[in-house]
Amino acid sequence: MGAYMIRRFLLMILTLFGMSVLIFVMLRVVPGNIVDILFDSAGMVNPEDKKRLEAELGLDKPIVQQYMTWITSMLKGDLGYSYVSEKPALDEILPRIPVTAKLAALALFFSVLFGVPLGVISAVRQNTSLDYFLRVVSLSGLSLPSFWLGLLILMAFVQYTGWIPIYSDAQRGFWQELWLLSIPAAAVGFRASALIMRLTRSSMLEVLRQDYIRTARAKGATRQAVNYDHALRNAVLPVVTIIGIEAAFLIGGLVVTETVFNIPGVARFLVEAIRWRDYPIVQNLVMLIAVITVVVNFIVDMAYVVLDPRIKYEG
Amino acid sequence: MKVVWYATAALGLAVGIGDVGTAFAQKPGGTLRIYHRDTPASASIHEEATVSTQLPFMAVFNNLVVYDQQAKQNNMSTIVPDLATSWAWDDSKTKLTFKLNQGVKWHDGKPFTSEDVKCTFEMLQGKGKQRLRKNPRAIWFRNLKEVTTNGPLEATFVLEKPQAAFLALLASGYTPIYACHVNPADMRTKPVGTGPFKFVEFKGNEVIRLAKNPDYFKKGKPYVDAIEMRIIDNRSTRILAFQAGEFDMTFSQDITIPLLKDMVKQAPKAICETKPQYVSRNLIVNREAAPFDNAEVRKAMALAIDRKAFIDILTEGKGDIGGAMLPLPEGAFGMPPEELQKMTGYGGDVAANRAQGRKIMEGLGYSASKPLKVKISTRNIAIYRDPAVILIDQLKQIHMEGELEVVDTPLWHAKVARKDYQVGMNLTGVAVDDPDANLVENYSCKSERNYTNYCNPEVEKLIDQQSTITDPAERKKVVWKIEQVLNDDLARPIIYHDRAATCWWPHVKGFVGHENSIYNNWRLEDVWLDK
């Protein structure tokens, strides 16, 4: 197990290195850079001024040199300066992480809270009216675009309460903050819970047909014990994988929700930074998301061992 | 010019008296909440060319003179003193001297002097010690030789040749006076001005906050304690937020004509004013390469354009047909209908124009079965793409087969600059309704914003000529002549001028939307909240 973990850790480093190269190259393959955009926004095209600014920002240097500067600075904890705000990239990124983390955690909580039990209920009540109803709900969750659902929620609030649940940086208590974030989290969680519900259902249905479930029933185990102790524990493995993928996605993939609910989180900031070709922000943010994804995957792999004792990682 | 000067001074006095008379009604206090549509590139007005920067930061600064914030139209007679107390031209009309207000302080406590005026304009001319990262309006001051000072309270602008409209450029919200002791990089992130509001914070994607300047040199102003502009990218969200009462005011002209109907329905008590944006949809034509190096082909294209169809489809009939200058009734230099009708493609019956266009094309060997293939390039943004699609449809009428080429925004100006296009659908916004801004920026030979590098010595001469004329009626005649030449040359054929609305709740008082510019009325020192 120890050897496996070391090998896995080294593989993580290699993956992150590959990611860093990919991010760096892809950003520069995209047409235009910050200087093009700055000059475009001012509606002017003076080649001399553009060259001067490119030199100021170090964009005239060879790409390998630019990459080495970024990596060595990053390893020293220096993420550089945002081209747009001219503030340290770290100061721009750090305050946004807790906002997105809270939203993502809440959305994940909602999705697991509703997705797993409803998936189990749908499976054990297969082909009943409750199952059909839950299947319609889950299909709706997968089919409704997040932006549309988000806007419907906002419109409903404005129409019926005269209040709009959008984010602001005003001081709030814990419960007010929780309430405000719960609404976008529910919008995001609806889709994720639908996915988890469907996966739990199909996984449960597969397990419920296994011989050992029949044996458990034959031995007189209660219905609850069969469903939750025997079946769910075995059915939950693919669900855990999906939860892990969703967790990583929620850090960088909440663009639409953050935009509709005006939440100043990581995803919206990332899209804005890409629009401006703000390389220091994009590179470091994508790397952060890559690290989170890799770490979450690692945690999910480790969770398999806990959930299924048959799984052993040999050195 | 003396006539204009006296008229302006008298108007300034009248505005001042008016202020005293109504001062009792204004309630001080409160926070004015305006939503912002996007994160501005920076806070430095001199380095940007968008209302996204202009709107939130104009209130941080002062100009020497400014367009009267309470008058609806910007013109020479609505220019009032700001940091200056008075101004006077010398007999040669090349020296403009400003007397400055005494006791004005920058927000950091340092005194404002004539040296700040001098170094602001030296910076704009690229002569100063401080250098701007971008300088999009350098061309405005092409006629400025130098700024001299006579003590801390007097500054003189020395011009190369007489330019009556020079004052109009100084009155724009785009011409604030910067502090000599603050470097341009700081102006981009935490600007220091003399204006009614001090900069507090600018958080990208979140909020811009300003606070009342208690030491403002205009005693008793501003009225509100603070201004908060939360940035909301999504238009649906921000409009819903306004309707829910989260904001006192929308962003400038954020409500398009189709959206206005919904606004009126959902927020019937809101005051919404629909005005021109002074943003024209226009065509840029590459006259240096085939087929548009042929004047006949250009003429045929001009004859194919049905401007009314564009307006009906895209603005539900609310747009305006005009030349480069803003059309009447709001535009100060708009052409009367009888003048407009004289221009190719503007007058007569569209079907007859197109028949004439077809005849030209047939004469050049093209037909319905053998059309001229043309690439219509434009930015990949709906407000650019939509008119481009309509244009393609209209060009079919004269045997031109258009193909839409959408270009990623960062590449647009570079592509245009290297002349890698045939016809481009373009948008042009103008800050000051004066030919010295609009025509100089967009059609003079040396302007960086003259993307097509259009350069006609006749136009250049006429632009210089109108600039020296003080009589408004005489000046208009020359301006209309320029419009005629620009249209004949197909320099940048104007399709139409757009309109949109700004809305606010009735408790917002003292705000007057300017009708011929969206860039000059955001000082906000007269705004107060009746709640």
B380 touching A, CB under 8 A? no
Q: How confident is the model at residue B474 (pLDDT cuts 50, 70, 90)?
A: very high
Q: How confident is the model at residue B32 (pLDDT cuts 50, 70, 90)?
A: very high
Are B381 and B279 in contact by the 8 Å Cβ rule? The answer is no
Binding-face residues of A in 34-53 toward B, CB within 8 A? 36-47, 49, 53
Q: If you measure CA to CA, which chain B residue comes closest to A160? A: B244
B235 touching A, CB under 8 A? no
Distance from CA of A96 to the nearest CA of B (A): 11
Task: Tell whether domain B276-499 is in CATH 1.10.240.10.
Answer: no
Element (H, E) at B85: strand B84-89
Tens of pLDDT along B475-521? 999 999 999 999 988 889 999 999 999 999 999 999 999 999 999 99
Residue B456 reports pLDDT greater than 90: yes
- To 5 degrees, how large is the angle CA A155–CA A156–CA A162? 85
Q: DSSP code of B218?
A: S
How far apart CA A79 and CA A72 sit, in angstroms, is 10
B449 touching A, CB under 8 A? yes
B225 touching A, CB under 8 A? no
- Going by C-beta distance under 8 Å and a sequence separation of 6 or more, which residues neighbour residue B323? B334, B335, B340, B343, B480, B483, B486, B487, B494
What is the mean predicted confidence (pLDDT) over A17-22? 94
**Out of A86, A164, A272, closest to residue B244 by CB:** A164
A166 touching B, CB under 8 A? yes
Which residues are registered as beta bridge partners of B280? B428, B497
The residue whose two tokens read 């904001």 is B247
B48 touching A, CB under 8 A? yes
Which residues are registered as beta bridge partners of B529? B508
Contact flag A45-B237 (C-beta cutoff 8 Å):
no
Contact flag A41-B451 (C-beta cutoff 8 Å):
no
Query: Residue A110: what residue type?
Result: F
B230 touching A, CB under 8 A? yes
Residue A256 reports pLDDT greater than 90: no
What are the φ and ψ backbone dihedral angles of B337, each rounded to 5 degrees? -50, -40
B240 touching A, CB under 8 A? yes
Tens of pLDDT along A101-140? 999 999 999 999 999 999 999 999 999 999 999 999 999 9
Contact flag A38-B133 (C-beta cutoff 8 Å):
yes
Fold agreement between B33-255 and B276-499: no
Domain ranges of chain B: 33-255, 276-499
> How many CB atoms lie under 10 A from the CB of residue B109?
8
A2 touching B, CB under 8 A? no
Q: Contacts of residue B237 in chain A, CB cutoff 8 Å?
A: 151, 154, 164, 166, 259-262
Among B470, B494, B97, which residue's Cα sits nearest to residue B324?
Answer: B494
What is the mean predicted confidence (pLDDT) over A280-306? 88
Q: Contacts of residue B417 in chain A, CB cutoff 8 Å?
A: 45, 47
How far apart CA B410 and CA B379 sit, in angstroms, is 9
Q: Contacts of residue B412 in chain A, CB cutoff 8 Å?
A: 40
What is the mean predicted confidence (pLDDT) over A66-81? 93
Contact flag B205-A32 (C-beta cutoff 8 Å):
no
Contact flag B416-A86 (C-beta cutoff 8 Å):
no
Predicted pLDDT at A168: 87
Residue B414 reports pLDDT greater than 80: no
B232 touching A, CB under 8 A? yes
Q: Contacts of residue B267 in chain A, CB cutoff 8 Å?
A: none
How far apart CA B335 and CA B321 sit, in angstroms, is 10
- Strands B226-231 and B31-36 turn out to be parallel
Predicted pLDDT at B465: 94
Contact flag A42-B408 (C-beta cutoff 8 Å):
no
A164 touching B, CB under 8 A? yes
- Going by C-beta distance under 8 Å and a sequence separation of 6 or more, which residues neighbour residue B208? B36, B40, B56, B201, B202, B228, B229, B231
Q: How confident is the model at residue B410 (pLDDT cuts 50, 70, 90)?
A: confident
Predicted pLDDT at B18: 40
Q: Contacts of residue B230 in chain A, CB cutoff 8 Å?
A: 168, 262
Contact flag A268-B244 (C-beta cutoff 8 Å):
no
Predicted pLDDT at B455: 93
Distance from CA of B204 to the nearest CA of A (A): 8
B433 touching A, CB under 8 A? no
Predicted pLDDT at B268: 96
- Going by C-beta distance under 8 Å and a sequence separation of 6 or more, which residues neighbour residue B162? B92, B93, B94, B467, B468
What is the mean predicted confidence (pLDDT) over B144-148? 97
What is the mean predicted confidence (pLDDT) over A66-85? 93
Among A60, A80, A46, which residue's Cα sits nearest to residue B132?
Answer: A46
Contact flag B448-A46 (C-beta cutoff 8 Å):
yes
Q: What percent of chain A has pLDDT over 70?
A: 98
Predicted pLDDT at B24: 55
**Out of B136, B204, B236, closest to residue A151 by CB:** B236
The structure tokens listed for A233 are: 């524990």
The residue whose two tokens read 């535009």 is B331
CATH topology of domain B33-255: D-Maltodextrin-Binding Protein; domain 2 (3.40.190)
Residue B22 reports pLDDT greater than 50: no
What is the mean predicted confidence (pLDDT) over B244-251? 97
Task: Please count the residue pairs, one from chain A and one from chain B, whose beta carbons lie less than 8 angstroms apart.
Answer: 121
B133 touching A, CB under 8 A? yes
pLDDT, greater one: B117 or A42: B117
**Out of A43, A46, A269, closest to residue B49 by CB:** A43
Best residue of B124, B247, B413, B441 to probe chain A, by most A CBs closer than 10 Å: B413
Distance from CA of B9 to the nearest CA of A (A): 34
B233 touching A, CB under 8 A? yes
